[in-house]
């Protein structure tokens, strides 16, 4: 089986592991999975002795496929993390122009609606927002106001293309910010990685503890069950 197929084999157990039992990786995933795969080879040599000492009979066989599932989860998280980093870089490039567009819209609408008490109060409220999420929402609300009250803008020679531009930029920046922050998808991917790690760690820990118990006076075999540091 390939890594994705091994993940599918473990998917239900990974997703059903309770959050309170999840442990964060304390070793690089590539080192941890390589260690697990090597342990599977060594433990198989002692399978009968390990099981006779109380080891869960499925644990040794689990190591290889669960390592593959963890490798797949890590690859998915690495790709997602890279996409988040790229989105953050793109945000740094594009956001100044978006904030400038908001500034321009506020300038024009503040002047055009200066004698419309109800509308100017809405513009003033929009002006108070300063964060990234504020900018995205503010561009949308400014475009809505401009579409609802076009006549005062027409009188001052306002460039009406800024209205559709504000709406478009708002939508584009909303999507970009969601990618940069990761959102729910990234959280699920990372959690699956951590859950797969936890399931594999449980098996490694148990196998090593039983192995050290059995071979406590056999240095050659004992070395196979040393914990990964």
Q: Residue ranges of the domains in the chain?
A: 3-84+184-225, 94-183
Per-residue pLDDT tens for 183-227?
777 789 999 999 999 999 999 999 999 999 999 999 999 999 998
Distance between start and end Cα atoms, the chain: 29
CA-CA distance, 33 to 69, in Å (whole number)? 10
**Residue 181: what pLDDT?**
87
**Residue 6 Cα to chain centre, angstroms:** 21
**Residue 46 Cα to chain centre, angstroms:** 40
CA-CA distance, 109 to 93, in Å (whole number)? 26
Greatest alpha-carbon pair distance for the chain in Å reads 94
Contact 193, 76 (CB under 8 A): yes
CA-CA distance, 6 to 110, in Å (whole number)? 60
Per-residue pLDDT tens for 98-144?
999 999 999 999 999 999 999 999 999 999 988 999 999 999 999 99
Per-residue pLDDT tens for 70-95?
999 999 999 999 999 999 999 999 99
């Amino acid at each position: 089986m390939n890594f994705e197929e091994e993940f599918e084999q473990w998917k239900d157990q990974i997703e059903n592991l309770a959050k309170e039992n999840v442990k964060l990786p304390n070793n690089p995933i590539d080192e941890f999975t390589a260690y697990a795969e090597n342990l599977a080879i060594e433990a198989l040599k002692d399978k009968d002795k390990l099981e006779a000492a109380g080891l869960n009979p499925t644990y040794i066989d689990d190591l290889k496929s669960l390592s593959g599932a963890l490798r797949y989860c890590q690859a998915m998280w690495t790709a997602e993390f890279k996409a988040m980093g790229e989105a953050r870089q793109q945000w740094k490039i594009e956001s100044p122009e978006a904030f400038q567009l908001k500034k321009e819209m506020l300038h024009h609408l503040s002047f055009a609606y200066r004698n419309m008490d109800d509308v100017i109060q809405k513009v003033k409220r929009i002006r108070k927002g300063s964060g990234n999420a504020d900018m995205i929402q503010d561009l949308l609300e400014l475009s809505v106001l401009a579409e609802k009250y076009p006549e005062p803008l027409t009188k001052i020679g306002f460039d009406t293309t800024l209205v559709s531009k504000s709406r478009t930029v708002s939508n584009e920046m909303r999507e970009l910010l969601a990618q940069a922050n990761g959102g729910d998808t990234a959280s699920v991917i990372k959690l699956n990685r951590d859950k797969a790690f936890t399931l594999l760690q449980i098996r490694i820990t148990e196998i090593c503890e039983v192995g050290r118990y059995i071979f406590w006076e056999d240095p050659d075999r004992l070395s196979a069950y040393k914990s990964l540091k």
